[in-house]
Amino acid sequence: MKKLFIVVAVAIFGLTACKKDFDCVCTVGGNSTTTTFPDAKKADAQDACDALSILSAIGGGTCELK
């Protein structure tokens, strides 16, 4: 039974560690744009979206990772 729990835990971790497509939605002055980061880790996509957020903040906008 313990072996089954270990196998299931490893499988769940493996699925959550997979790379996915993330979208960074930026809104400036009522207009929104979406930038997609294909096959990225969440941390890498968040860093890139934060960089876009800094640029959009100059124009009074915001960005959010989805």
**Where in the sequence is the domain holding 44, given as residue range(s)?**
19-65
Residue 9 pLDDT > 60: no
The number of folded domains in the chain is 1
Angle 48-43-14 (CA atoms, 0-180°, nearest 5)?
Answer: 140
Q: Is residue 41 part of a domain?
A: yes
pLDDT of residue 17: 57
- How far apart, in whole angstroms, are the C-alpha atoms of residue 64 and residue 34? 10
**Which strands sit side by side in the sheet containing 20-28, from one edge to the other?**
31-40, 20-28, 62-65
Residues 12-47 have pLDDT tens digits of 555 555 668 999 999 988 899 999 999 888 999 999
| Any domain includes 2 | no
**Does residue 14 lie within any of the structural domains?**
no
Question: Residue 55: inside a domain, yes or no?
Answer: yes
Check residue 5 and give its pLDDT: 46
